[in-house]
Protein backbone atom coordinates (compact mmCIF):
# COMPACT_ATOMS: atom_id res chain seq x y z
CA UNK A 1 0.00 0.00 0.00
CA UNK A 2 1.40 3.40 -0.92
CA UNK A 3 1.98 5.97 1.82
CA UNK A 4 -0.59 8.32 0.22
CA UNK A 5 -3.40 5.77 0.56
CA UNK A 6 -2.58 4.81 4.16
CA UNK A 7 -4.78 6.28 6.90
CA UNK A 8 -3.00 8.39 9.50
CA UNK A 9 -2.83 7.04 13.02
CA UNK A 10 -4.02 9.35 15.79
CA UNK A 11 -0.41 9.88 16.86
CA UNK A 12 0.70 10.80 13.32
CA UNK A 13 -2.21 13.20 12.97
CA UNK A 14 -1.42 14.88 16.30
CA UNK A 15 2.19 15.33 15.20
CA UNK A 16 1.04 16.99 11.97
CA UNK A 17 -1.26 19.45 13.76
CA UNK A 18 1.26 20.25 16.50
CA UNK A 19 -0.27 18.40 19.46
CA UNK A 20 2.61 16.07 20.21
CA UNK A 21 4.55 15.34 23.40
CA UNK A 22 7.65 17.24 22.26
CA UNK A 23 5.79 20.49 21.56
CA UNK A 24 2.41 20.43 23.33
CA UNK A 25 0.19 23.46 22.72
CA UNK A 26 -1.35 25.19 25.70
CA UNK A 27 -5.12 25.13 25.35
CA UNK A 28 -5.64 27.90 27.89
CA UNK A 29 -4.52 31.44 27.18
CA UNK A 30 -2.30 32.71 29.97
CA UNK A 31 -2.54 36.31 28.80
CA UNK A 32 -3.60 38.55 31.68
CA UNK A 33 -6.25 41.24 31.38
CA UNK A 34 -3.53 43.79 32.21
CA UNK A 35 -1.56 42.63 29.13
CA UNK A 36 -4.67 42.89 26.97
CA UNK A 37 -5.47 46.36 28.24
CA UNK A 38 -1.86 47.44 27.74
CA UNK A 39 -2.11 46.44 24.08
CA UNK A 40 -5.33 48.46 23.80
CA UNK A 41 -4.06 51.49 25.70
CA UNK A 42 -6.13 50.67 28.79
CA UNK A 43 -9.60 51.40 27.39
CA UNK A 44 -11.68 48.63 28.98
CA UNK A 45 -14.93 50.15 27.67
CA UNK A 46 -13.66 49.97 24.09
CA UNK A 47 -12.66 46.32 24.57
CA UNK A 48 -16.09 45.46 25.98
CA UNK A 49 -17.88 47.18 23.09
CA UNK A 50 -15.62 45.46 20.56
CA UNK A 51 -16.33 42.02 22.06
CA UNK A 52 -20.07 42.77 22.18
CA UNK A 53 -20.09 43.77 18.51
CA UNK A 54 -18.03 40.71 17.57
CA UNK A 55 -20.34 38.39 19.54
CA UNK A 56 -23.37 39.78 17.73
CA UNK A 57 -21.85 39.64 14.23
CA UNK A 58 -23.71 36.69 12.64
CA UNK A 59 -22.08 34.00 10.54
CA UNK A 60 -24.33 31.50 8.74
CA UNK A 61 -22.74 28.06 9.09
CA UNK A 62 -23.65 24.74 7.53
CA UNK A 63 -22.43 21.18 8.13
CA UNK A 64 -18.95 20.68 6.72
CA UNK A 65 -17.80 24.28 7.30
CA UNK A 66 -14.51 24.80 9.11
CA UNK A 67 -14.76 27.33 11.94
CA UNK A 68 -12.57 28.79 14.69
CA UNK A 69 -13.06 31.05 17.70
CA UNK A 70 -13.58 34.75 17.10
CA UNK A 71 -10.76 36.72 18.78
CA UNK A 72 -11.35 37.13 22.51
CA UNK A 73 -14.53 35.03 22.62
CA UNK A 74 -13.25 31.55 23.52
CA UNK A 75 -14.96 30.20 26.64
CA UNK A 76 -14.05 26.50 26.43
CA UNK A 77 -10.83 24.50 26.31
CA UNK A 78 -11.37 23.12 22.81
CA UNK A 79 -10.60 23.98 20.12
CA UNK A 80 -7.49 26.11 20.70
CA UNK A 81 -7.36 29.56 19.14
CA UNK A 82 -6.48 29.28 15.45
CA UNK A 83 -7.35 25.56 15.35
CA UNK A 84 -10.24 24.60 13.09
CA UNK A 85 -13.31 22.60 14.07
CA UNK A 86 -15.80 21.15 11.60
CA UNK A 87 -19.50 21.96 11.80
CA UNK A 88 -21.44 18.72 12.23
CA UNK A 89 -24.87 20.21 12.82
CA UNK A 90 -26.60 23.58 13.18
CA UNK A 91 -29.40 23.44 15.76
CA UNK A 92 -32.53 25.55 15.31
CA UNK A 93 -33.72 26.32 17.88
CA UNK A 94 -30.61 26.38 20.03
CA UNK A 95 -30.38 24.23 23.14
CA UNK A 96 -29.87 26.24 26.34
CA UNK A 97 -27.03 24.98 28.52
CA UNK A 98 -28.52 23.44 31.66
CA UNK A 99 -25.83 24.72 34.01
CA UNK A 100 -27.69 25.38 37.28
CA UNK A 101 -25.38 28.02 38.76
CA UNK A 102 -26.26 31.50 37.46
CA UNK A 103 -22.68 32.66 38.13
CA UNK A 104 -21.33 30.20 35.55
CA UNK A 105 -20.28 31.48 32.13
CA UNK A 106 -22.31 28.59 30.69
CA UNK A 107 -25.61 29.42 32.47
CA UNK A 108 -28.35 29.33 29.79
CA UNK A 109 -25.75 29.71 27.02
CA UNK A 110 -27.48 29.10 23.66
CA UNK A 111 -25.80 26.08 22.08
CA UNK A 112 -26.61 26.01 18.38
CA UNK A 113 -23.49 24.44 16.82
CA UNK A 114 -22.31 20.86 17.12
CA UNK A 115 -18.62 20.85 16.23
CA UNK A 116 -16.18 18.04 15.61
CA UNK A 117 -12.71 18.43 17.16
CA UNK A 118 -9.74 16.26 18.05
CA UNK A 119 -9.63 15.26 21.71
CA UNK A 120 -6.38 16.54 23.25
CA UNK A 121 -5.92 14.38 26.38
CA UNK A 122 -5.40 10.76 27.30
CA UNK A 123 -7.19 8.45 27.07
CA UNK A 124 -8.29 8.84 23.51
CA UNK A 125 -5.92 11.66 22.58
CA UNK A 126 -6.40 12.38 18.87
CA UNK A 127 -9.86 10.84 18.69
CA UNK A 128 -12.63 12.75 16.92
CA UNK A 129 -15.18 14.15 19.41
CA UNK A 130 -18.35 16.23 19.07
CA UNK A 131 -19.32 19.08 21.41
CA UNK A 132 -22.05 21.73 21.50
CA UNK A 133 -21.08 25.42 21.26
CA UNK A 134 -22.54 28.91 21.06
CA UNK A 135 -22.21 29.71 17.34
CA UNK A 136 -22.00 33.47 18.00
CA UNK A 137 -18.45 32.86 19.27
CA UNK A 138 -17.21 31.38 15.97
CA UNK A 139 -16.21 32.61 12.52
CA UNK A 140 -15.12 30.90 9.33
CA UNK A 141 -11.63 29.40 9.67
CA UNK A 142 -9.03 30.89 7.37
CA UNK A 143 -5.81 28.82 7.17
CA UNK A 144 -3.90 31.91 6.01
CA UNK A 145 -4.57 33.77 9.26
CA UNK A 146 -4.51 30.78 11.65
The total domain count for the chain is 1
Answer with the residue of higher pLDDT: 34 or 1: 34
In a domain, 52, yes or no: yes
Can you state the percent helix, strand and coil of the chain, rounding each to 5?
25, 25, 55
Whether residue 53 is contained in a domain is answered as: yes
Instruction: Using pLDDT thresholds of 50, 70 and 90, give the confidence band for residue 132.
Output: very high
State the pLDDT at residue 124. Answer: 84
Is the previous residue joined to 27 through a cis bond, with omega within 30 degrees of 0? no
Answer whether residue 145 is part of any domain: no
Q: Domain span at residue 30?
A: 3-140
In a domain, 136, yes or no: yes
* Per-residue pLDDT reduced to its tens digit, 77-107: 899 988 999 999 999 999 999 888 888 888 9
Amino acid sequence: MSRQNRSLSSRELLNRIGLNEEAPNSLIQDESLDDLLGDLEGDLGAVLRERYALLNQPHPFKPGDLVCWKPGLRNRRLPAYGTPAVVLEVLDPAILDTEQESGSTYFREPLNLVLGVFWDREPGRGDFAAFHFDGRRFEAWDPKTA
